[in-house]
Structure 1
Amino acid sequence: MATFLYKLGRAAFRRRRLVALLWVALLALAGVGAATAPTPTSSSFSIPGTEAQRAFDLLEERFPGAGADGATARVVFKAPAGEKMTDPAHKAVVEETVAALKSGSDQIVQVTDPYTAHAVSQNGSTAYVSVSYKVNGMELTDETREALKDAGHDAQGKGLTVEIGGDALQTMPEQGASEAIGIVLASIVLVITFGSLVAAGLPLLTAVIGVGIGVSTITALANVLDLGTTTSTLASMIGLAVGIDYALFIVSRYRAELAEGRDHEEAAGRAVGTAGSAVVFAGLTVVIALVGLAVVNIPMLSKMGFAAAGTVVIAVLIALTLIPALLGFAGNKVVGRKQRKGPKNDLQKDAKPNGGTRWARFVIRRPLMVLIVGVLGLGAIAVPAASLEMGLPDDGVKPTSTSERRAYDALSDGFGPGFNGPLLVVVDGDKATADRTVSTIKGLDGWAAVTPATPNKAGDAAMITVVPKDRPSSTATENLVHDIRDATGDDVLVTGATAMNIDFSQKMNDALVPYLALVVGLAFVLLTLVFRSVLVPLKAALGFLLSVVAALGAVVAVFQWGWLGSLFGVEQTGPIMSMMPIFMVGVVFGLAMDYEVFLVTRMREAYVHGERPGEAIVTGFRHSARVVTAAAVIMIAVFSGFIGMDDQMVKMIGFGLAVAVLFDAFVVRMAIVPAVLALLGHKAWWLPKWLDRLLPNVDVEGEGLAKSAPASEGGAAKPDLVKV
């Protein structure tokens, strides 16, 4: 592989104008496709195999046009202290609002009058208007949302407190500011790392081009493949992360080759042949993690995984072709001014001990101590993960500054905490069956209200609304859902947002172990092929699991227990988002294996070229530690930018990914990995002879380049490419 990539790098360097033109043409083509494609809508969300999904399907079949899967809104009215919503003046304001809502949009299915729908609290202080829409929240037009806001605003000015809740106002969080902050911080780190604006700009430029092509392609195909508006979120985040990382490692290796006296074309070829091999295998691990999301069997997650994997493939191809082409244009400017004095000075400077060298020698002297401290430290942080409670955060965890949260609190105060998460029971049967179901539910504990059965026109199905006593995300409400399902037959199905969240969480729990087994298993095989070792891939997988569990512990401590919550803007604790564990496993696994491959392949390269195990560790850190550190800091900066957003789910994702990269890069890869390798010595690179014969030699270390690649005409041959 190294020889092939070496030739590819030299070819891209020589024909740089053609290569650059092709990538610019691809970006333009994808941009035109995205600009001319119809506006993407939200993709259909379904959870195949769950009772909640079967109930929704039955509703769509037996209650056509009921808007069961459409958006909803609740306009909540609260009277001033000492007054009631039944007062004639307040009642007139509410009726005016109902009339305005009915005429406000053709996307509305139904608007209920609180005085005929018994939607006034017992003490008379609170009332609400329910609004049902034909489409989900992402497909509502701006005019529809504005009409809803205007109706509430008009009533607000007539003596009542008016708040609006529900998912009708739900929009995709604005990410532009967060991504811009991440790019600015990444720029600073790259300039400090390289000491050259040109070298720092190349990874950013190529990452933006890769993300632009990937996201534009997703947008162009969104309606054709039902990708929706949310699919590009993960692709953008991962594409930017790995795009910067991969280019960073190629550019860094290119500068190292120049420092050893090679001409520019030869340096580009060798950079792609060595670091490029690591990029290919690192990219494959990320692709495996993302494509593996299909194991969960939730179409939305599968599409997000495939789309993000496609963006990663683009990032790999750009690193292997566009980076060497742009290096050809950059010339000597890719090296800082102080380092342009000549190859001899640069080589001597590179040979001097640096921070990575000193740290590696410290770990080698005290490997057991470093290992124990690292494992115990992450183990202590992981303890809260044992108390993990999963669910889908609702309006109750939003900041109190939002209208949705104030509406949520007003309904809880006026109607009880369970009112914000009603259960919808669908009966596949006649009226007698529905009435028996109502009686059965009333015999259970945990409900606050049970409405009479509402049959459909054909009389072969009915709907029953059950209001729990406790809040939607509580254990008591979850128990009520299970009790209803256990006490009724197969012809009775429980759904609604609360039941859907419970089923979604259970499905994610059930899929976690198979997903881990698939991703870690395939990556183990891949890393065995790369490192030609059994213990190194095993150590990589165990270290990854340790860092992920520690990151989950930190997430639970902050977002579920509330520790340091005010520091991160967490106003209300609650369950951890159901997809958080699998999402973290997929994303962090890919990035963790990136750092593992880039750091350990340099050690492996030194080892196979004759250095002793301890010396190989020092060599790997001397060449790669600074770059891996820069890559990790960039990723932490990018993910931390999302912590400042108001959306609780986005805030949680940003925090979880940032701390996971922090733990994995700086504790696992930079401390535990060298400590374990130092303790194992030669055994770290042991591979059974029978397995050695079976595995193909992919030559990630570039050993074959010593035989096939020509020496630089004006520079010295690379000394560590001769096996001793």
Structure 2
Amino acid sequence: MSATRTVTADPPAQSDGILARLGRSMAAHTRLVIGVWLIALVALGAAAPSVFTSLAGAGWQANGSESVQVRELAEQHFGGNSSAAVQVVVHSDSVPITDPSMQQTLAAATEIFSADPRFGEVVAPQTGMTISPDGHTGIMIAGANASTDEMVSAVDELGKELTALSTDTIEVYPTGASALWSDFNKANHEAMIKAEMMSWPVTLAIMVLAFGSLVAAGLPLLLTLAGLVASAGGLVILNEITPISVWAMNFAMMFALALGIDYALFLVARFREALRTDPDPRAAVAQTMDTAGKAVVLSGLTVLVSLSAVLIVPAPAVRTMAVGIMLAVIFVLAATLTLLPAVLGRIGAKVNGGSLPYAKRQQHRSPMFAAWASLLHKHPWPFGIGAVIVLIALVVPVFGLKVAMPSIAVVPEDAPVRQGYELVQQQFGDGAPGMLQIVTSADDAADTSRLAMSVDGVAMITPTQQAADGSDLVMLQAVPTVDPSDPAMETILADLRSQLPESALVGGAPAENLDLQQALDDYLPFVVVVILTLGFLLLLIALQAPLIALIGTLVSLLSTGAAFGIAKLIFQDGHGAGLLGFDPQGFLNGWGPVFFFAMIFAIAMDYTVFLLSSAKEHYERTGDPETAHIDGLAHSGRVIAAAAAVMVAVFFTFALADPLPPKEMGIILGVAVLLDAVLVRLVLLPVLLRLSGRAAWWAPAWLRRILPNISFSHG
């Protein structure tokens, strides 16, 4: 009986790891996997088109700060006359504000606001406060009767209707913080979409050159598209639970494209190599997932861990930007581990379809990168010292880096909010667009007004405004002598808060920006420590070797610092500003250090994982550190170079955007990837791997006992 039992199934499942078994399963149930993904994409895709109109437009605040308390008190007790209120600037060169035509325009604006429940009390221009000295400009204030996000949406919807009240002789501009974020988000959204559209053909061209096959090049793009659609729909659904910043989708789009291609590139390259040794597509998928799949999982976890550190910052917009990218990474990772193996198992050798002539000569072990690794192995010190000198020289400028929240200059010159802002400054003074609001008790009103007026940098204090609900609170407004983004504003705010009576709270839009900047500065060290610690622990668990895990973490920190050094030279000092088409603000936008640090470190660790996982695989097979060093780079070098080229192309397309924030983001991330791939992953890290030798892979016995057993070799 036993002689009739023959084995017809795949090799024994017990020799496979979890990811290998997952790969076999996906390849064996292709129709089911693709069907599930199609259903999911149709469901999420139905919500995706509304992503940019559904998501929140505000959230740039430090929760729990004094300025947020003032805004909440203004909304509760003063008819919504808070930092979120909408100001409408009405101006005419030919007629005064008292002219019937001007009054008719103001009445029309009042009617628009009165018909919308999101607006509270509407205050007409008042002599001595919101009517200019020459009488030709007035500011109407429409109180905020909704959340900051809803107020930005209100301006999105009513902005054109308000500006349409303009005539040949009368100009109408909605302005204020809500209008600023409305125009700011629109400009950045348009720039991001334009950059994304430009990056796709460039990315496809790089993929074709890297793979030499149209089919293989198209797979990463299809995978990324699935991740983008799923992310967009997922964010819309998540926004129904908690407000998600519209910036979350901007960053998610960029990261989904870059990381999706990275992960697919790594798996497809390994799959093509596996087919050379085993023509069975399911076996090739299993081998791919058991080796490259582990690196992709580790990379994805590293990105998620790095971004999760940003969640400790008490700023809704910053937190939800991190959430958006994390959601995109989760969908891209899920597609990479399920959909891609299913498709690869289905098409098998057809992955090489549409091959270019040179593609048939391609090997997974690149002769060019093998020769480069051998050169580094023979002469590690000159290359290592050279890379360190360059990186340290680029890190040095970081020590002079200044950060601040963006000024009005980041909004296009033709945006209504900027035109209204500049008109207010011309007619009322530099500080008029950024009045500071002071809420205090009625008993302290007189002292508060007197002391506020004595503070250097305060031009005027408005008369006290009694609370509309009869509570024992009053509001005063302090008009600064400087522009809201002037560095002196920080001193003015600090002096007001220290010199006014204890009951007085100081807020307003400039104060909210300064409080947010302070929160970002305060939390930056914690974010950095958390990211470095968790990144090291992940590498330690994966590589089972403390020295190489520490080296991998520290070199990622070095490349991150160098990227910020270049950011300081470009965006603060203005080097190359003319070529890039922007006017430097004299500082880096405030969210940059916290948010870009997490993003850059995540990308840097991405390449660290690709290189070191390949090196560890060869060390496990041979026990020879020289083979691990040379073959690790020979097998991963082409993939790292191609992935970096894609990321640089994606990020640098954002450098062509007109608004400064996406330009800043694109250049900083693009430079970071370029530095990391060229100087760190392809020079410094291989050199350190060579110099550390066998010690790189050593771990004490007690550590090996407590760590999970993870192997990057197959079989």
> TM-score, normalised on structure 2?
0.89
Is structure 2 residue 570 aligned with structure 1 residue 584?
no
Is structure 2 residue 115 aligned with structure 1 residue 119?
no
Deviation at 1:66, TM superposition (A): 1.6
Aligned to 1:598: 610
- AA aligned opposite 2:303: V
Greater displacement, 184-193 / 134-143: 134-143
- AA aligned opposite 2:674: L
Cα deviation code 1:419-469 (max 9, x no counterpart)? 222111111x12x30110111112221112221221213251111111212
- AA aligned opposite 1:233: N
Cα deviation code 1:600-624 (max 9, x no counterpart)? 1111111221163333222122211
Which sections of structure 1, spanning at least 5 residues, go unmatched? 707-724
- AA aligned opposite 1:410: L
User: Equivalences for 1:264-343 in 2 at 5 Å?
Assistant: 264-335=281-352
Is structure 2 residue 434 aligned with structure 1 residue 421?
yes
Q: 1:221 to 1:122 in 2, by over 3 A?
A: same
Aligned to 1:681: 693
Q: Say if 1:446 and 1:468, in contact at 8 Å, map to a contact too.
A: yes
Distance 1:27 1:645 in 2: 30
Distance 1:385 1:314 in 2: 35
Q: 1:327 to 1:32 in 2, by over 3 A?
A: same
Distance 2:577 2:653 in 1: 17
Aligned to 2:515: 503
Which sections of structure 2, spanning at least 5 residues, go unmatched? 1-14
Aligned to 1:26: 40
Aligned to 2:77: 62
Aligned to 1:95: 103
Q: Say if 2:614 and 2:636, in contact at 8 Å, map to a contact too.
A: yes
Aligned to 2:636: 624
Aligned to 1:717: none
Distance 2:600 2:16 in 1: 27
Aligned to 1:11: 25
Q: Say if 1:399 and 1:571, in contact at 8 Å, map to a contact too.
A: no
User: Aligned with 2:165: secondary structure?
Assistant: helix
Is structure 2 residue 444 aligned with structure 1 residue 433?
yes
Distance 1:691 1:603 in 2: 21
Cα deviation code 1:151-210 (max 9, x no counterpart)? 23x1xx12x666554342534422322212222221111111001111011111011112
Distance 2:377 2:694 in 1: 14
Q: Say if 1:287 and 1:312, in contact at 8 Å, map to a contact too.
A: yes
Q: 1:339 to 1:126 in 2, by over 3 A?
A: closer
User: For 2:211, which of 194, 210, 214 is the aligned residue?
Assistant: 194
Cα deviation code 1:299-321 (max 9, x no counterpart)? 44334433432332222221122
User: Aligned with 2:575: secondary structure?
Assistant: coil
- AA aligned opposite 2:395: A
Q: 1:616 to 1:645 in 2, by over 3 A?
A: same
- AA aligned opposite 2:559: S
Q: Say if 1:35 and 1:220, in contact at 8 Å, map to a contact too.
A: no
User: Aligned with 1:73: secondary structure?
Assistant: strand
Aligned to 1:377: 390
Deviation at 1:290, TM superposition (A): 1.9
Deviation at 1:483, TM superposition (A): 0.8
Deviation at 1:142, TM superposition (A): 5.4
User: Equivalences for 1:132-151 in 2 at 5 Å?
Assistant: 132-135=143-146, 136=148, 137-140=151-154, 143-151=157-165
Q: Say if 2:412 and 2:418, in contact at 8 Å, map to a contact too.
A: yes
Q: Say if 2:83 and 2:508, in contact at 8 Å, map to a contact too.
A: no
Is structure 2 residue 457 aligned with structure 1 residue 456?
no
Cα deviation code 1:57-94 (max 9, x no counterpart)? 3223333x325253423425363xxxx76498xx4543
Deviation at 1:585, TM superposition (A): 1.7
User: Aligned with 2:558: secondary structure?
Assistant: helix
- AA aligned opposite 1:474: D
Is structure 2 residue 496 aligned with structure 1 residue 484?
yes
Deviation at 1:116, TM superposition (A): 2.8
Distance 2:52 2:131 in 1: 43
Aligned to 2:10: none
Distance 2:585 2:40 in 1: 45
Aligned to 2:6: none
Distance 1:19 1:272 in 2: 16
Distance 2:573 2:248 in 1: 31
Aligned to 1:444: 455
User: Equivalences for 1:510-549 in 2 at 5 Å?
Assistant: 510-549=522-561
Provide the alpha-carbon RMSD of the alignment. 2.8
Cα deviation code 1:513-541 (max 9, x no counterpart)? 11111121112111011112112221222
Aligned to 1:222: 239
Aligned to 1:205: 222
Distance 1:8 1:238 in 2: 25
Q: Say if 2:81 and 2:142, in contact at 8 Å, map to a contact too.
A: no
Cα deviation code 1:80-117 (max 9, x no counterpart)? xxxx76498xx454333212211234235455544635
Deviation at 1:640, TM superposition (A): 2.0
Distance 2:165 2:603 in 1: 48
> TM-score, normalised on structure 1?
0.88
Deviation at 1:33, TM superposition (A): 5.5
Cα deviation code 1:17-38 (max 9, x no counterpart)? 1111111111122234667999
Q: 1:124 to 1:560 in 2, by over 3 A?
A: farther
Is structure 2 residue 662 aligned with structure 1 residue 650?
yes
Aligned pairs, how many? 686
Cα deviation code 1:111-131 (max 9, x no counterpart)? 554463543444667655545
Is structure 2 residue 61 aligned with structure 1 residue 49?
no
User: For 1:553, which of 559, 565, 578 is the aligned residue?
Assistant: 565
Greater displacement, 117-126 / 627-636: 117-126
Distance 2:564 2:399 in 1: 9
Deviation at 1:656, TM superposition (A): 1.8
Q: 1:52 to 1:142 in 2, by over 3 A?
A: closer
Q: 1:413 to 1:385 in 2, by over 3 A?
A: farther
Q: Say if 1:264 and 1:331, in contact at 8 Å, map to a contact too.
A: yes
Cα deviation code 1:524-583 (max 9, x no counterpart)? 111011112112221222222222222222222222222211222213524322211111
Q: Say if 1:643 and 1:655, in contact at 8 Å, map to a contact too.
A: yes
Aligned to 1:721: none
Q: 1:316 to 1:439 in 2, by over 3 A?
A: same
Q: Say if 2:62 and 2:315, in contact at 8 Å, map to a contact too.
A: yes
Deviation at 1:255, TM superposition (A): 0.9
Distance 2:621 2:612 in 1: 14
Distance 1:521 1:246 in 2: 24
Q: 1:341 to 1:665 in 2, by over 3 A?
A: closer
Aligned to 1:395: 408
Greater displacement, 668-677 / 141-150: 141-150
Deviation at 1:351, TM superposition (A): 5.5
Q: 1:38 to 1:627 in 2, by over 3 A?
A: closer
